[in-house]
């Protein structure tokens, strides 16, 4: 039976982790390679890096991080943030990323999703959707949530599937950082609309939220950042909890 | 000893390279190449594959003499070869992704889309799934039945001779996820992405 995946996400800025794991035995708390290794050794099903480097001159730092990480972690590695072109994708894959997650550029140019999934295969193209509730609908935002688009998130999800996305990473902007749980309605609406896997993101504050994301949100995978940082919960605890609730996980 | 990973410009093979180098350390030479002379002189060959059946077979055929060299290596000389993902699928006679496409024809059978049972099963089949080991394959040495492996695919290999199937996995139905026919090995899952247990399979292949 296919297992539900738990994916810890690390925010990387200028090649350094921001908001990382605060373990005492860490040699260098800002080293993304070391943190990714802790997660993969701890049973993470995949690792996700979100590059939030703002300045263009430091954008190359992520390539080095990916290259080093892929030589130490032998679970799938997804990298997102600032991907604009086929060339960006090619570079990340060559450095050892297994998948890339495309956000703003996919909204601006759906052809990028079409072309890249044809060139590299759907399996490595994840489309990231940042959505915010507006009445009974959800609207897509771009540029790290700064720009509204007026695009309906559920329609957009379907369109991205048709363009060749292999997975959708859906983040509720209303919930992100709040620790009150995923936006279950958004997740389940998108998940039932598309036939590709949905990764739920945004809002996890406890282990029960992971359960809700899978059970009620019908997500194939759950992504979380802060509950795994600062040692609040380990990946192992999360898996044992889900297992005890009857959710299939890799233990 | 040296192991050649065939680089035929189809898909991303950096993870395959990294994992083989990690396992090989300094003891075994890992060569990443499309040079047919280097492939001929290597002891073992790894045939990765990403993207569609057609794009992979087209890319293989696009390199002059490569298919003939692989045939000679695996069929005539019976040297060990490991196909991964579409690399395994290409062993078949025919693939049905995009259009009907001729495969290498090493293991009689076809490659067809996984039945999603009217949307009940999402495709691609992405993530960790258990393998059911059906027979002692040499690459499964010290690998326990029901081990988890990482999968990403929408198509499955349906061989005619079920005796060559070394493992299956359950998604929509029990489908083939590993084969062994004499010196030819294949995995539908990605050992290079399947954590320590995947590295063990790579180690087993290197140490055949």
Q: Is there a contact between B10 and B47 (Cβ–Cβ < 8 Å)?
A: no
Residue A179 to residue A169: CA distance in whole angstroms:
18
Residue A203 predicted with pLDDT over 80: yes
Residue of B164, B15, B28 lying closest to A78 (CA atoms): B15
Closest Cα in chain A to B10: A120
Nearest-5° Cα angle at B140, A38 to B109: 115
Residues 6 or more apart in contact with residue A210 via CB below 8 angstroms: A6, A204, A222, A224, A238, A241, A242
Task: Collect all residues of chain B within an 8 Å Cβ-Cβ radius of residue A220.
Answer: 122, 126-127
- A237 — pLDDT class (breaks 50, 70, 90): very high
HSE-up of B172 (CA within 13 Å, CB side)? 20
Examine the predicted complex and report whether its ipTM is higher than 0.85.
yes
CB contact under 8 A, A196 and B128: no
Among candidate residues B85, B125, B175, B180, the one labeled active-site is B85
CA of B76, closest CA in chain A: separation in Å? Answer: 32
pLDDT at res. A27: 60
CA dihedral A64, A67, A72, A78 (to 10 degrees): 100
CB contact under 8 A, A3 and B171: no
Provide the number of CB pairs (under 8 Å) joining chain A to chain B.
92
pLDDT at res. B11: 73
Task: Collect all residues of chain A within an 8 Å Cβ-Cβ radius of residue B198.
Answer: 74
Per-domain boundaries in chain A: 5-244
- A144 — pLDDT class (breaks 50, 70, 90): confident
- Put simply, whether A116 touches B (Cβ < 8 Å) is no
pLDDT at res. B116: 94
pLDDT at res. B80: 98
Nearest to B14 among A5, A96, A196 (CB): A96
Residue B114, both tokens = 């996984």
* Architecture of the CATH domain A5-244: Alpha-Beta Barrel (3.20)
Q: Which stretch of DSSP H or E encloses residue A211?
A: helix A207-215
Residues 6 or more apart in contact with residue A135 via CB below 8 angstroms: none
Residue A23 predicted with pLDDT over 80: no
Residue A81 predicted with pLDDT over 80: yes
CB contact under 8 A, A75 and B11: no
- Which of B86, B127, B189, B192 would you mutate first to test chain A, the one with the most A CBs within 10 A? B127
CB contact under 8 A, B124 and A123: yes
Phi, psi of A54 (to 5 degrees): -90, -40
CA of A119, closest CA in chain B: separation in Å? Answer: 8
pLDDT at res. A20: 53
Closest Cα in chain A to B198: A74
Per-residue pLDDT tens digits of chain B, which is 208 residues long = 999 999 998 778 999 999 999 999 989 999 999 999 999 999 999 999 988 899 999 999 999 999 999 999 999 999 999 999 999 999 999 999 989 999 999 999 999 999 999 989 999 999 999 999 999 999 999 999 999 999 999 999 999 999 999 999 999 999 999 999 999 999 999 999 999 999 999 999 999 9
Residue A54 to residue A51: CA distance in whole angstroms:
9
Higher pLDDT pick, A121 / A222: A222
Residues 6 or more apart in contact with residue A130 via CB below 8 angstroms: A103, A140, A141, A142, A144, A145, A171, A173
CATH number at residue B135: 3.40.50.880
Residue A230 to residue A23: CA distance in whole angstroms:
7
Task: Collect all residues of chain A within an 8 Å Cβ-Cβ radius of residue B51.
Answer: 120-121
pLDDT at res. A28: 67
Task: Examine the residue annotation and report whether A11 is marked as an active-site residue of this protein.
Answer: yes
Start-to-end Cα distance in chain B: 11
CA of A3, closest CA in chain B: separation in Å? Answer: 6
CA of A92, closest CA in chain B: separation in Å? Answer: 10
Task: Collect all residues of chain A within an 8 Å Cβ-Cβ radius of residue B127.
Answer: 2-5, 45, 197, 220-221
Residues spanned by the domain of B62: 2-206
Q: Is there a contact between A239 and A249 (Cβ–Cβ < 8 Å)?
A: yes
pLDDT at res. B191: 98
Residue A25 predicted with pLDDT over 70: no
Task: Examine the residue annotation and report whether A243 is marked as an active-site residue of this protein.
Answer: no
Nearest to A98 among B15, B22, B51 (CB): B15
Cis before B48 (ω within 30):
no
Q: How many domains does chain B have?
A: 1
Residue with tokens 């490595």: A124
Residue A231 to residue A223: CA distance in whole angstroms:
16
**Whole-number average pLDDT of chain A:** 93
Residue A21 predicted with pLDDT over 60: no
Phi, psi of B84 (to 5 degrees): -120, 130
Q: Is there a contact between B4 and B31 (Cβ–Cβ < 8 Å)?
A: yes
């Amino acid at each position: 039976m296919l297992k539900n995946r738990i994916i810890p996400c690390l925010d990387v800025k200028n090649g350094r982790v921001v908001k990382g794991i605060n373990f005492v035995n860490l040699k260098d708390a800002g080293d993304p390679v070391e943190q990714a290794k802790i997660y993969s050794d701890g049973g993470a099903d995949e690792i996700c890096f979100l590059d939030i480097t703002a300045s263009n001159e430091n954008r190359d730092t992520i390539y080095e991080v990916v290259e080093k990480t892929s030589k130490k972690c032998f679970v799938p590695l997804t990298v997102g943030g600032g991907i604009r072109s086929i060339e960006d994708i090619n570079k990340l894959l060559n450095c050892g990323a297994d998948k890339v997650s495309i956000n703003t550029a996919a909204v601006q140019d759906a052809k990028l999703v079409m072309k890249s999934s044809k060139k590299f295969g759907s399996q490595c193209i994840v489309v990231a959707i940042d959505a915010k509730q507006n009445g009974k609908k959800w609207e897509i935002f771009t540029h790290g949530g700064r720009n509204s688009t007026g695009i309906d998130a559920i329609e957009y999800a379907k369109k991205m599937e048709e363009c060749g996305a292999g997975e959708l990473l859906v983040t509720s902007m209303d919930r992100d950082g709040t620790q009150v749980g995923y936006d279950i309605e958004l997740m389940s609406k998108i998940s039932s609309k598309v036939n590709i896997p949905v990764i739920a993101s945004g809002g996890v504050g406890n282990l029960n939220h992971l359960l809700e994301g899978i059970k009620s949100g019908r997500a194939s995978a759950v992504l979380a950042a802060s509950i795994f940082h600062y040692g609040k919960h380990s990946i192992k605890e999360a898996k044992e909890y889900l297992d005890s609730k009857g959710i299939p996980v890799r233990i | 000893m040296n192991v050649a990973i065939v680089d035929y410009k189809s898909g991303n093979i950096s993870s395959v390279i990294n994992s083989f180098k990690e396992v090989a350390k300094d003891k075994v030479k890992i060569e990443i190449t499309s040079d047919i002379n280097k492939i001929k002189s290597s002891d073992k060959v790894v045939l990765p594959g990403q993207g569609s059946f057609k794009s992979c077979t087209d890319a293989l055929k696009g390199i002059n003499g490569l298919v003939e060299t692989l045939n000679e290596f695996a069929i005539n000389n019976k040297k060990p070869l490991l196909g991964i993902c579409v690399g395994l699928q290409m062993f078949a006679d025919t693939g049905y992704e995009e259009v009907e496409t001729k495969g290498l024809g090493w293991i009689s059978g076809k490659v067809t889309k996984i039945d999603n049972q009217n949307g009940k099963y999402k495709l691609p089949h992405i993530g960790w799934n258990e393998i059911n080991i059906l027979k002692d394959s040499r690459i499964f040495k010290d690998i326990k039945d029901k081990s988890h492996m990482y999968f990403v695919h929408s198509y499955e290999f349906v061989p005619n001779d079920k005796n060559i199937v070394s493992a299956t996995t359950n998604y929509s139905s029990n489908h083939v996820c590993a084969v062994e026919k004499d010196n030819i090995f294949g995995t539908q899952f990605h050992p290079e992405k399947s954590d320590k247990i995947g590295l063990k399979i790579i180690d087993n292949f290197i140490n055949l």
